[in-house]
Amino acid sequence: MLFVESVGRATHALAGQISQTSSLLAQTLYWLVVGPFRKKPVSRKSVFAQTVFSGWDSLAIVFFTDFFIGMVLAMQSAYQLEQLGATLYVAALVGVSMAREIGPVLTALVVAGRVGAAITAELATMKVTEQVEALQTLSLNPVRYLVAPRFMALLLMVPCLTLLGDLIGMFGGFVIGTTSLGLPPGLYIDTTFEFLTAKDVLTGLLKSAVFAMLIALIACQQGLAAEGGAEGVGRATTRSVVTSFIMIIVADALLTAFFYMAG
């Protein structure tokens, strides 16, 4: 009986969170799409500030993470491919893997851990200190001023960071391939682009756009739902990061299955 009650409570909580997130998405899209035609566009200054925070300030961690992952991927794949006499195909494996899978997922996880947590903490602090209520008292829509700029910034910057991360990861593989494995630089580059197609890159960018929307919505929803003072801010931030990580992995699995079945 207790198990059934626990499952019921968990299901009810999940359904409530999905409903709140869906409502937040609808309101955000309204202010981004309809708002400008009603002479109430989202602040460009706010979008620019969030773009710098989400993109430029995340550049260093994305660089180091993807670079070393590219190196590790090249070393691990070389260990197996050397036994088959196919060391040259390390270039193809690293290129395709970074573009289709590792680049988008790894970049999204990094952004969720850094930017998503910061967004949740910021909005949660505003919520528990009643600054959000103050905006509503002044007839200012919180979604327009707080959520929409962050949503737009992440939607713009996560695909850009993903594309840059793909190139950096491939460069990490290039460093290992041309030094430890002794492959000619020109041959390594030719092999990479021989097997890497536009579909691989576009698939990864589409995934990154979906991940960006998930990170923005989950971070903002958890922040605006926070309660309970400083302790509530900590709980909201933890839930935001954990939920974002889980949803990124689930979304990646679903999108990969869709692209696989679509051919």
What whole-number distance in Å separates Cα of residue 197 and Cα of residue 184?
A: 22
pLDDT at 17 (0 to 100): 74
What whole-number distance in Å separates Cα of residue 164 and Cα of residue 170?
A: 10
- How far, CA to CA in Å, does 24 sit from each of 19, 31, 48, 55, 128? 9, 11, 21, 23, 19
Task: Select from 204, 98, 91, 112 the least CA-distant residue to 154.
Answer: 112
Average pLDDT over residues 42-69: 89
Range with the poorest average pLDDT among 37-41, 42-46, 133-137, 162-166: 37-41
Task: Select from 218, 225, 217, 224 the least CA-distant residue to 240.
Answer: 218
Q: Above 70 in pLDDT, residue 6?
A: no
pLDDT at 66 (0 to 100): 93
What whole-number distance in Å separates Cα of residue 47 and Cα of residue 152?
A: 7
pLDDT at 2 (0 to 100): 65
φ and ψ of 133, to 5 deg? -65, -35
Average pLDDT over residues 14-20: 76
Q: Position of tokens 């035609």?
A: 37
pTM reported for the whole predicted model: 0.91
Mean pLDDT computed over every residue of the chain = 88
Q: What is the pLDDT of residues 202-219, one digit of tens each?
A: 999 999 999 999 999 999
Average pLDDT over residues 178-187: 89
pLDDT at 9 (0 to 100): 73
What whole-number distance in Å separates Cα of residue 218 and Cα of residue 124?
A: 12
| The total number of residues written for the chain in this structure | 263
pLDDT band with cut points at 50, 70 and 90 for residue 43: confident
What whole-number distance in Å separates Cα of residue 252 and Cα of residue 246?
A: 10
Q: Above 70 in pLDDT, residue 125?
A: yes
What whole-number distance in Å separates Cα of residue 123 and Cα of residue 234?
A: 12
Find the Cα–Cα–Cα–Cα dihedral 233, 114, 204, 88, rounded to 10°.
-140
